[in-house]
Each structure stands twice: as C-alpha cells, then as structure tokens.
Amino acid sequence: MKKTIFLFILTFATMFSLSAQTTWKIDVSHSNVLFTVSHMVISEVTGRFTDFEGTLVQTGAEFTGATLNAKIKTTSINTDNEGRDKHLRSADFFDTEKNPEITFVSKSFEKTGKDTYKITGDFTMRGVTKTVTLDAKYKGSTKDPWGNTKAGFKATTSLNRMDYGVKWSKSLDGGGFVVGETIDAIFQIELTQEKLEQEKK
C-alpha cells in the first residue's frame, strides 16, 4: 500500500514538473543580434547577424533557473558594406567555411533585481569556448493580436575577440589599431511561447 502511494506521489510530482515547464522560441523577425567595435580608435562600426535561432525553457513562475540555447549563422554577418562583410567571413575573422555557427549554451540563469538577470554560459566562436555572462533586462510579456504569448529581453555583454582567435588588425601611425579588440554585443530578443499539444489541436 505504501509503495503504491509513493509511486502515485512520484508520478504526480513528475507530471507537475513537466507541466510547469514553458518553452519559448526566439521570434527572429522581431529580434536583433547586434555588435559594435572600435574603428581606428575614433569611431565605431555596428553590425548584425540576420540568421539565428534559440530556445529558452522556463521551469517556474519566473525565469530563474531557465535554460537558454542559441545559434548564430556566421555567414549572415552584415555591416552594410559588401567588401567588409566578405573580409569578415574570411579566415582573418570568422572563417565562416570552417566555423559556420556561433553558439551559446547557458549554465545558470540568475535573477539579480526586479527585472534583471545574469545569464552565464558557454560561448563558442571559431572553435573556442569561453564562459560568458550576459546582463539581461526582462522587458515584460503580453499577448499579440493572434493569441500568442510574447516576452522580451535585452541582453548585453563584452568579448575580447583575441580570446577567440580573431586577431586581424593593422596598427595606426598615431597609435592604436584599425579594429579594436573589445566587441560589445547587444541582443534584443522577442520570444514566443510554444503552445501545448492539446492547445494546438
């Protein structure tokens, strides 16, 4: 009898745990993956990636403890300059033929304030993996006109491109380099909540 009760409780707890999970997908058409880098010390170049995807799995009422997996296609880099973009795809920079994706796999999703989170995970670029922390701001959630639940985040981080083998640059006579070492990344993300199977039917 006790064994039966224990199995019932375990089954119920497992079902509750599964039902508490909420899966979100990045809505690419309403999201942006941006970066800025110093150019010749005196200015900045801004670029973006246009081909990316990601899934966030929420396990509670808030996003604490959520998991995030994201991929960026390196060939989709766009700085509004065809010649520069071709160079960025070459072995001097992203080497897109050998390294078609940049990936991020979260290891922790920690709430730090009312609407702020730190998302720490493995960031892989050009075959090199480093631990990176994103400072994220939760922008809220809402329903769109078609009944889909939406949520928004803005996350930022800084990377040293040298850590990932992206070392090309040229020195300037006045000091400094054509391309700076620090990359500031900005992720403006809109998520769409996946509907349960029974809701889809």
- Residue 134 maps to a domain: yes
Q: Check if the beta carbon of residue 123 is closer than 8 Å to that of residue 103.
A: yes
Range of the domain at 130: 22-200
Residue 69 is part of a domain; what is its CATH number? 2.40.128.110
For the segment 109-136, what is each residue's pLDDT rounded down to a tens digit? 999 999 999 999 999 999 999 999 999 9
- Residue 15 maps to a domain: no
Q: Which structure tokens are listed for 107? A: 């290891």
Q: Could you tell me the pTM of the whole model?
A: 0.83
- Residue 2 maps to a domain: no
Helix (H/G/I), strand (E/B), else coil: 95: coil
For the segment 58-83, what is each residue's pLDDT rounded down to a tens digit? 998 889 999 999 999 999 999 999 99
Total domain count, the chain: 1
